[in-house]
Amino acid sequence: MKYQSNNFETNAIHFGYNAQENEGALTPPVHFTSTFAFETAQVGGEMFAGEREGHFYTRISNPTLSLLEERMAILERAESALATASGMGAITSTLWTFLRPGDEIIVDKTLYGCTFSFLNHGLAEFGVKVIHIDLSDSQGLKQHLTKNTRVVFFETPANPNMKLVDIREVSAMVHEFNQDIRVIVDNTYCSPFLCNPIAFGADLVIHSATKYLGGHGDLVAGLVVGNKDDIQAIRLFGLKDMTGAALAPLNAMLIMRGLKTLALRMERHCENALKVAKFLQSHPSVKEVSYPGLSSFKYHNLAQQQMKGFGGMITFEVHGGLEAGIAMMNQLNMIQRAVSLGDAETLIQHPASMTHSSYTPKERLSHGISDGLIRLSVGLESVDDILMDLKQALNCCVPASLDDKTDKLASAELA
Ligand code: 4LM
């Protein structure tokens, strides 16, 4: 019997595994094998024909990957999941499966830089029409749905500007128009602990497992989660034939190790990030802060409805523009200047010149990614050290706005 619970934390540790079926091994064995021996040639033929279940080659499936996939499916409240070699591997394997020349995909305006690049420099050049709209405006969506629409794709919160999309509203509108259109949510920023898009009506969920799922900055991986038929289609076409982006079994093991502490880590990421966001908001050198947990944030109410916590990601802009922001980044001692997110270490980066440099300056402007934006992935260090590092860097390098200084000092005194 394999263990199953009603609780997220327990499933993240135990689901789908029975030590007694594995010589008592507490942690599941890693099946370090590329291929699998067939008992007879006929058995092999039957597996290839899809008439018999079983593993035959690790690009398609492997017992260690299967356990990770089963665990992710239960954590995302879905039927099935597929592990891939990277988040981009999950996105490309999925979209190559459902799109053909002449089809249309509607995507939110704000997307991770390489996703944007894949759509515009990849799919669009193979005859797929890519329509970028602001999905936080659902009326705008209605007028773009056509008989050729196959997929609606978005991130929430979006990388990097933290814009939220109402998953329930968008999914309902799309499915009312046509049940067969796949609503695909990149849930990387939330992890399944903070949000389960399928419960709000989405069809497929994508993760860069490189981030919170792995959680330790030591691997690159991806996952796609959805119903059995869709996942099987992605496995047997998008992954097997189009991208070949199969996950290494050892990395699957490392992600399962990450999952064991996902709930604990996410709670601390959220707790630290809220304190950091409030500190930034009260600092006279900071012009604007975007964080779903701030009551002043445009999408705060939506975040309360569809997220269990507000996450570990913050963006902000300082007075003095880009130059002051870069000087501040260079002054940091403990916080690391690095792309990626969701690690134990607090990471800071500049989207316009780093993760989103594949957008042209004009595209960044019209897609809501300003040049001065700085992104912080708040880690698991003592929040006192994170705040101290930010404070010394801001005080050293960034001018305080006189207006802001008076306002903020006054409000700080009142508080
Ligand atoms: C970054 N992000 O932002 P792989 N989806 C989202 C992402 O943020 C990313 C991917 C997919 C960053 C990487 C350098 C929302 C990546 C792609 O990197 O292929 O696992 O995931 O800093």
> Best of 159, 216, 251 to mutate for ligand 1, by most ligand atoms within 8 A of CB?
159
Residues 84-124 have pLDDT tens digits of 999 999 999 999 999 999 999 999 999 999 999 999 999 99
Q: How many CA atoms lie within 13 A of 118 on its CB side?
A: 19
The structural domains of the chain, with segments of one domain joined by +, span: 8-260, 263-414
Pocket-forming residues, ligand 1, beta carbon under 6 Å? 86-88, 112, 114-115, 155, 159, 186, 188, 208, 210, 220, 222, 339-341, 355
CA of 208 to the centre of ligand 1 (A): 6
Nearest CA to ligand 1 atom 14: 340
CATH architecture classification, 8-260: 3-Layer(aba) Sandwich (3.40)
User: Which residue's CA is the nearest one to ligand 1's atom 17?
Assistant: 87
Residue 333 in tokens: 């001692």
User: In ligand 1, which atom is closest to the CA atom of 89?
Assistant: 19
Question: Mind listing the pLDDT tens digit for each residue in 152-164?
Answer: 999 999 999 999 9
Tell me the catalytic residues: 59, 112, 186, 211
Domain 263-414: which topology?
Aspartate Aminotransferase, domain 1 (3.90.1150)
Which of 105-119, 134-148, 204-218 is predicted with the least confidence, judged by mean pLDDT? 134-148
Beta bridge pairs of residue 222: 84, 208
Ligand 1 centroid to Cα of residue 37, in Å, is: 36
From the CA of 45, how far away is ligand 1's center (Å)?
38
**pLDDT single digits (tens) 344-394:** 999 999 999 999 999 999 999 998 899 999 999 999 999 999 999 999 999
Write the residue with the smallest CA distance to atom 13 of ligand 1. Answer: 340
Phi, psi of 212 (to 5 degrees): -65, -30
- What value, to the nearest 5°, has the Cα angle with vertex 399 and ends 393 and 403? 130
Q: Which one, of 282, 271, 98, lies nearest residue 180 by Cα? A: 98
By the 8 A CB rule, do 43 and 184 touch? no
* Mutation probe of ligand 1 site: the residue of 91, 211, 315 with most atoms within 8 A of C-beta: 211
So what's the pLDDT on residue 48? 95
How high is the mean pLDDT of the chain? 95
